[in-house]
Amino acid sequence: MFRWYVINTYSGHENKVKQNLEHRVHTMSQERNVRQVVVPTEQISEMKDGQKVQSEKRTMPGYVLVNMEMTDDAWGLVKNTPGVTGFVGSRNKPIPLSKVEVDRLLHREAAERPRTRAQFSIGESVKVISGPLADFSGEIAEINEDAAKLKVLVSIFGRETPVEVNYDQVKKI
């Protein structure tokens, strides 16, 4: 029965391990035992120099998911792949992922919109470049990465007023 298993890899070598494993599966004719190898990632959009840039980020650094039938041949094939440090689970008996865990790890991109990562820090001075408060300057008081918004303290009529703006509505001074 095909199940999903998690393997440990050297951090930063996940894609290389995926390539190595897929190559070994093909050259050792193990396609009947190993179906799929996946590096869990998510799309992130970030603001760089006023431009929105899409990038891909690993959600589980140091881990790769493998859909396989756990046979002695398949276990040895995966375990002896360069860059693989072992399976998650006990030493000789890897533990398969549950259906809920697989859905959460593999199908999260379809459920979520791309996350935006802040290129700002609290206390930093920014200038509002769009919206009703364009050309006002202020200091960042709060960062809400989930909503991709900043709370900026803008001086209006001599008083500091907290204003909520999107990442793309401000630029660093």
Q: Are residues 137 and 148 in the same domain?
A: yes
pLDDT of residue 114: 58
Contact between 7 and 22 (Cβ < 8 Å): no
**pLDDT tops 60 at residue 109:** no
Residue 100: is it exposed, middle or buried by C-beta count within 10 angstroms (0-12/13-18/19+)?
Answer: exposed
Q: Are residues 23 and 71 in the same domain?
A: yes
Q: Are residues 79 and 23 in the same domain?
A: yes
β-pair type (41-48, 115-117):
parallel
- Can you tell me the distance from the alpha carbon of 88 to that of 159, in angstroms, rounded to the nearest whole number? 56
DSSP state of 53: E
Q: Are residues 11 and 77 in the same domain?
A: yes
Q: Are residues 85 and 13 in the same domain?
A: yes
Number of domains in the chain: 2
Q: Are residues 89 and 143 in the same domain?
A: no
**Each residue's pLDDT tens digit, 35-87:** 999 998 887 777 777 677 888 888 889 999 999 999 989 999 999 999 999 99
Q: Are residues 63 and 131 in the same domain?
A: no
Q: Are residues 12 and 87 in the same domain?
A: yes
Q: Are residues 106 and 126 in the same domain?
A: no
Calculate mean pLDDT across residues 113-140: 84
Averaged pLDDT of the chain: 87
Which CATH number does the domain housing residue 149 bear? 2.30.30.30
**Each residue's pLDDT tens digit, 10-47:** 988 999 999 999 999 999 999 999 999 999 888 777 77
Task: Give the domain range for residue 45.
Answer: 2-116
Q: Could you say which of 116, 142, 160 is where a domain stops?
A: 116
pLDDT of residue 62: 93
